[in-house]
Amino acid sequence: MLSMRNVSVTYGNNPVPAVENFSLEMKQGEIVSIVGESRSGKTTVIRAVLGCLPGGGYVSRGEISFEGRPVSGFGREEWRRLRGTEISMIFQDSGAMLNPVRRIGSQYVEYIRTHEKMGRRAAWERGARMLEQMRLPDGEHIMRSYPFQLSGGQRQRVGIAMAMTFQPKLLLADEPTSALDVTTQAQIVRQMLKLREEYHTGIIMVTHNLGEAAYMADRILVMKEGHIVDAGTREQILAHPSSAYTRNLLDSVPALGGYRFV
Amino acid sequence: MSDTRELILEAKHVTKRYPASGGRTLTACRDVSLNFYRGKTLGIVGESGCGKSTFLRMVASLEKPDEGEILYRGQDLARLKGEKLRQHRQKIQMVFQDPAAAFSPKMKVMDIICEPLLNFKRIKRSEKEAAARKFLEMVELPGEFALRYPHHMSGGQRQRIGIARALTLEPELILCDEATSSLDVSVQKTIIELLVKLQREKQIAYGFVCHDVALVQSLAHQVAVMYLGSVMEILPGDQAASGCVHPYTKALIGSVFDLHMDFQKPIESMDDEAPSPFDMPPGCPFQSRCPQCMEICRRERPALKEIGEGHLAACHLTAQGETE
């Protein structure tokens, strides 16, 4: 479905690419986690997939193709058809994505009607139904709320609901749980796993939480300073990491009932 | 409990309320009693809005409790005023979550580190650079950082400077409010190692507030679990993972993604959201999410009761001896 071959991404005139030689082949229904610390280039990778690199970033080498078609040749209209319907994205804080002075409902309806010919009433109902499927009780109430009236976990569910409205083939998740409490984190992860079961969605999950990545993903990529340093299944990465960096990373994660400093 | 430990600070039945819109009040901390001992770490965990930061701010005399008292070596902090309070502040220092926001961007590192020393006239202006170098060394940073500005440093280095500044006045108690939460795990580990090393050398007591249960239990001698303003369970750090009895603590630990967990087993998590702190029901604060909620839980608020050595829980189940 998605294929990235030797992709390098450069920002502006910076001679050092933010991501270098990144390759990934992905099938539908697969979950891949990209793990790394800050500035490892993990967010840049998924932004490149969606063709929305910020600040003068561009793919300087290699090729990204989605369902066999190279995305580099896409015009505005093609991107518009793809984004939000075939490929969609969840951000770290869906609250920041939403307009603070408009109710959820009005934004949701606009989003649906941008991508599909549909009446207001029908779009509203579809939005409310989608919210309820994401286990937000009383979708009507959420539709009538402003983003600030919702908790962080609720806002994130709204973000997921919106991203999943058109049952995209590929979902890009950029640290969707990092800003949440552990209990809510677990809820969101369960929700995302259900997406795969129900809609057969492929997910690229960017996270710095190794435990979460290991729990969710079929495959894990470990990135450092723009390069993939380790790639493999959960077993391979957790039990037999090939790079010293991954080993160090694994050692640094505090474990329940594990090593104690005192 | 063997009392070879030296009590530094004692919070007794501390309650803090804030006025909120619509004439309502928000109870951020309700009847919290916790102790800090010399050379020991008290970890406080809980979800956002559980009152853990509010509690730290009261201990640091940044807020005054509405009820209850905070005793520092027997002295009620709420009664300290003016110069006495200023002098007292040397004993308790704080390290904040975001070191970038805690420092003035216009000050050099040596000015940041030495500001408390100058405020209390412990050094002369001419000794500033030498003093800064000494403290930089203590937090394992090169001495020439003294002449740099904070924005030239990484998050981990900045947090070390925050620790250096907290150390300058030789406090007995350092309060860390999510001090490592914005750092990458590998950096977090080095900061924790530094904190633990300093504790061994100087017998500092820490109050370590964090939402990461796994991290807190790895460095705290005692862990307090808070939920919606109340302490639900207090237990020794080495028993936090295995010995917890309170359903909330169990739920909190159950939802942690651990590298050694059984990946075939679905992750446990509570379905509901925490209730609004404005309309708290009578009885146990955890009743709406508790899988073992009983009739008495809706009526009566459970009190913290000792159920083992250094282990207290506020739950009707343990009071009745119904948990394993």
Give residue B260's pLDDT: 84
* Domains (range + CATH), chain A: 2-252 (3.40.50.300)
To test the contact with chain A by mutation, choose from B180, B232, B269, B278 the residue with the greatest count of A C-beta atoms within 10 A, namely B269
Give residue B323's pLDDT: 45
Confidence of residue B133 (pLDDT cuts 50, 70, 90): very high
Q: Answer yes or no: do B188 and A252 touch at CB < 8 A.
A: yes
Share of chain B above pLDDT 90, in %: 68
Read off φ and ψ for residue A89, nearest 5 degrees: -135, 145
User: Could you tell me if A152 and A174 are in contact, meaning their C-beta atoms sit under 8 angstroms apart?
Assistant: no
Question: Is any Cβ of chain B less than 8 angstroms from the Cβ of A239?
Answer: no
Number of Cβ pairs closer than 8 Å across A and B?
121
The pLDDT tens digits for B225-279 are 999 999 999 999 988 888 999 999 999 998 888 888 888 888 877 777 777 788 7
Region A191-200 average pLDDT:
90
Q: Where are the domains of chain B?
A: 14-91+171-319
Give residue B321's pLDDT: 57
Question: Is any Cβ of chain B less than 8 angstroms from the Cβ of A68?
Answer: no
| Statement: residue B3 has pLDDT above 70 | no
Confidence of residue A103 (pLDDT cuts 50, 70, 90): very high
Give residue B273's pLDDT: 73
The pLDDT tens digits for A126-149 are 999 999 888 887 889 999 999 998
Region A155-178 average pLDDT:
92
CA distance A77 to chain B (A): 39
C-alpha distance across the termini of chain B, in Å: 22
User: What's the token pair of residue A62?
Assistant: 């290699």
Question: Using a CB-CB distance cutoff of 8 angstroms, which residues of chain B are in contact with residue A238?
Answer: 259
CA–CA gap between residue B56 and residue A176 (Å, rounded): 29
- Could you tell me how far CA B103 lies from the centroid of its own chain? 21
User: Could you tell me if A86 and A169 are in contact, meaning their C-beta atoms sit under 8 angstroms apart?
Assistant: yes
The pLDDT tens digits for A35-80 are 998 889 999 999 999 988 988 899 999 999 999 999 988 988 999 8
- Considering only CB atoms, A252 lies closest to which of B186, B213, B273, namely B186
CA distance A69 to chain B (A): 36
Q: Answer yes or no: do A182 and B192 touch at CB < 8 A.
A: no
Q: Answer yes or no: do B217 and A257 touch at CB < 8 A.
A: yes
A81 in helix, strand or coil?
Answer: helix
Between B133 and B264, residue with greater pLDDT: B133
Asked if this assembly's ipTM is beyond 0.85, the reply is no
Confidence of residue B1 (pLDDT cuts 50, 70, 90): very low
Q: Answer yes or no: do B257 and A151 touch at CB < 8 A.
A: no
To test the contact with chain A by mutation, choose from B50, B153, B185 the residue with the greatest count of A C-beta atoms within 10 A, namely B185
Is residue B82 exposed (0-12), middle (13-18) or buried (19+ Cβ within 10 Å)?
exposed
Between B201 and B24, residue with greater pLDDT: B201
Give residue A29's pLDDT: 93
Confidence of residue B20 (pLDDT cuts 50, 70, 90): confident
Q: Does domain B14-91+171-319 have CATH number 3.40.50.300?
A: yes
For the entire predicted model, the pTM comes to 0.87
- Considering only CB atoms, A238 lies closest to which of B199, B259, B266, namely B259
CA distance A60 to chain B (A): 28
Three-state SS letters, A142-170? HHCCCHHHCCHHHHHHHHHHHHHCCCCCE
| Statement: residue B56 has pLDDT above 80 | yes
Residue of A nearest to B251 (CA): A183
Give residue B161's pLDDT: 94
Residue of A nearest to B244 (CA): A257
| Statement: residue B294 has pLDDT above 60 | yes
| Statement: residue A12 has pLDDT above 50 | yes
Region B55-60 average pLDDT:
94
Q: Taking phi first (over 0 means left), then psi (-120 to 50 degrees means alpha), and beta for anything else, what does residue A113 get? A: alpha
Residue of B nearest to A213 (CA): B257
To test the contact with chain B by mutation, choose from A183, A210, A215 the residue with the greatest count of B C-beta atoms within 10 A, namely A183
**Chain mean pLDDT for chain B:** 90
Confidence of residue A183 (pLDDT cuts 50, 70, 90): confident
Give residue B263's pLDDT: 84
Q: Answer yes or no: do A38 and B188 touch at CB < 8 A.
A: no
Give residue B48's pLDDT: 84
Share of chain A above pLDDT 90, in %: 68
Share of chain B above pLDDT 70, in %: 97
Region B195-221 average pLDDT:
94
CA–CA gap between residue B314 and residue B27 (Å, rounded): 18
Question: Using a CB-CB distance cutoff of 8 angstroms, which residues of chain A are in contact with residue B269?
Answer: 183, 186-187, 190
Question: Using a CB-CB distance cutoff of 8 angstroms, which residues of chain B are in contact with residue A156?
Answer: none
Q: Answer yes or no: do A256 and B238 touch at CB < 8 A.
A: no
Give residue A180's pLDDT: 83
